[in-house]
Amino acid sequence: MTHNIAILGASGYTGAELIRLIDGHSSMTIKALGGNSKAGQSMASVFPHLRHMDLPDLVTMEEIDFSAIDLCFCALPHKTSQEVIAQLPKDLKIVDLSADFRLRDPEEYKRWYGNTHAALEQQAEAVYGLTEFYREEIRGARLVAGTGCNAATGQFALRPLITGGLIDLDDIILDLKCAVSGAGRALKENLLHAELSEGYHAYALGGTHRHLGEFDQEFSALAGRPVKVQFTPHLMPANRGILATVYVKGDPQAIHNALQSAYADEPFLEVLPFGEAPSTRHIRGSNFCHIGVSGDRIKGRAIVVAALDNLTKGSSGQALQNANLMLDIEETEGLMMAPLFP
């Protein structure tokens, strides 16, 4: 059976990544591509690397006949996404890649994103889209909220350690390096080549990054009490990839064993041999996440390092993984391609 797919926000990086991935999918056909700012243009003109594909031209959302669509990916900015999704058919399956439906508490959403939520009915039914931990809920969901790419990386490193009671919950430091594509395709002064190349810098200092809302929500739910991590992201002059280095108090070997056990049957999560560190170059363009664990010279401390591609496993690949479950397709379909190297 072939499922008809629409992508809203197809002119952005995550939209293009969805198209690239679906091209290798045996059970999906792209029927509509929404991109209001580039409506009327061909995908070959917007993204020349996709010119070999037989794709519909970009159109406005109003031009799409959603009665012929089985599932819609929304790759729109936050705030815009909730306004659009509130207008879509109530029986349409949706995977949202924005931040609009990740936080269950509307007040927390307002706190982190600065605006009152405009689609509370849809927010109430949304399932958090960290596939490996919400698999059964996602299977029966109509609306799935994709995680933040930083939030996914940190959670893959930490969730089994929190549930296993293996680390000090009041002493978690998350140092994260992220590639520039995570900031989207819009023109911004700080993302110009001369502003960004030949260096990298910390941002959102002092616990102000919006993905902290997801960490607070998820880690506190796991622990049964408030958990707040110390998190600082750094923007690096690379196109793809996230590298998270997590510093925790706990036994390094027990932590490694717990991660190996938790992810032994997961197709996309690879735990490296003890003492080895992952690299963003080894997961580029793939839906895999590599995780390494090491001890430290300070007794009782451990270092957990996780690497994933922010556009694939951190966003569009995760979205396709969720869509497969929602449409009763093999979860790995279209996603087992090897990473690009070098």
Instruction: List residues with catalytic annotation.
Output: 149
Tell me the C-alpha distance between 244 and 182, whole Å.
14
What six digits make up the tokens of 67?
Answer: 């009665």
Q: Which amino acid is at 187?
A: L
Q: Which of 28, 42, 39 lies closest to 64 in space, CA to CA?
A: 39
Tell me the C-alpha distance between 76 and 15, whole Å.
9
Tell me the C-alpha distance between 30 and 294, whole Å.
44
Name 175's bridge partners: 232, 245
Please give the helix or strand (H or E) that residue 306 lies within, else none.
Answer: strand 301-308
Whether residue 14 contacts residue 311, with contact meaning beta carbons closer than 8 Å, is answered with yes
Please give the helix or strand (H or E) that residue 270 lies within, else none.
Answer: strand 269-271
Burial label for 104, CB within 10 Å (0-12, 13-18, 19+), is middle
